């Protein structure tokens, strides 16, 4: 076991240093493959039930139904994390490990311009100017781009799936822009958005009184309930 955890005494292996990323990436891939296979089986079942041609796996992967289902979920995740990044910048929750301290200065609030001469500082910090402005907001920018991209994918896939149903029932087809104004689009979005903010709300409040020893998301087990931050 020690061979798997360390390259040599005192040094962690690459896998150990990146274990959190690897575990989540592997679980994501397994769940994504499971979603693809299960969704295709549902598509095949529906086609047989309605005496229609069965889609190939590739046909299912390029269908509006698959794109809508995938991007609909991704957009809610990126919205959740992006908004959480913003909200935790300005708002506080007394006693929660998810909040910055109420009275003490938080390291995240330090002005990076004061560290521009530090040789170990990231390049944008040493460079300053526009590069630094973008870098100090880069986490939010990333989630914003991913959210907008997921919305676009949801609209394109959702409109395609919506139009298929419309044609089958003799209804009028819509453009992607018109699909944005349908109740269908907002139902698909809101049913995911509400669950994401529910989880965050529970997490913020639960960490005031509950603990998980060893987790970076929890305060120390012996910390008082009023301690804010981890």
Tens of pLDDT, residues 172-190:
999 999 999 999 999 999 9
Q: Enumerate the H helices of 50-137 as residue ranges.
A: 57-61, 64-90, 123-127, 129-135
CB 97 within 8 A of CB 219: yes
SS3 106: coil
Domain boundaries defined on the chain: 1-62, 63-230
Tokens 């390029």 identify what position?
62
Percent of the chain's residues with pLDDT above 90: 75
Tell me how many degrees the CA angle 142-148-153 measures, rounded to the nearest 5. 125
Q: How many CA atoms lie within 13 Å of 74's alpha carbon, on the beta-carbon side?
A: 21
Per residue in 78-125, pLDDT (tens digit) is: 999 999 999 999 999 999 999 988 888 888 888 899 888 888 999 999
Q: Which two tokens stand for residue 219?
A: 């305060």
Rounded CA gap, 179 and 189, in Å?
A: 12
Per residue in 125-169, pLDDT (tens digit) is: 999 999 999 999 999 999 999 999 999 999 999 999 999 999 988
Query: So what's the pLDDT on residue 1?
Result: 47
Query: So what's the pLDDT on residue 129?
Result: 94
């Amino acid at each position: 076991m020690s061979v798997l955890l360390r390259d040599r005494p005192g040094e962690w292996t690459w896998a150990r240093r990146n274990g959190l990323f690897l575990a989540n990436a592997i679980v994501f891939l397994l769940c994504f493959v499971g979603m693809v296979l299960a969704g295709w089986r549902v598509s095949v079942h529906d086609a047989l039930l309605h005496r229609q041609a069965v889609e190939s796996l590739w046909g299912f992967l390029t269908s509006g139904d698959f794109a809508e289902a995938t991007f609909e979920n991704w957009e809610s995740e990126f919205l959740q994390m992006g908004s959480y990044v913003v909200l935790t910048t300005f708002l506080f929750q007394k006693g929660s490990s998810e909040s910055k301290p109420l009275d003490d200065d938080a390291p995240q609030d330090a002005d990076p311009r004061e560290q521009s001469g530090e040789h170990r500082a990231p390049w944008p910090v040493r460079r300053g100017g526009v590069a630094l402005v973008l870098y100090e907001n880069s986490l939010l920018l990333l989630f914003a781009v991913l959210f907008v991209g997921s919305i676009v994918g949801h609209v394109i896939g959702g409109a395609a799936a919506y139009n298929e149903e419309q044609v089958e029932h003799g209804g009028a087809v819509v453009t992607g822009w018109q699909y944005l104004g349908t109740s269908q689009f907002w139902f698909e979005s809101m049913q995911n958005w509400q669950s994401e903010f529910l989880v965050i709300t529970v997490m913020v409040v639960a960490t005031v009184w509950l603990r998980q020893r060893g987790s970076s998301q929890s305060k120390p087990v012996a910390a008082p309930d009023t301690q804010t931050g981890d």
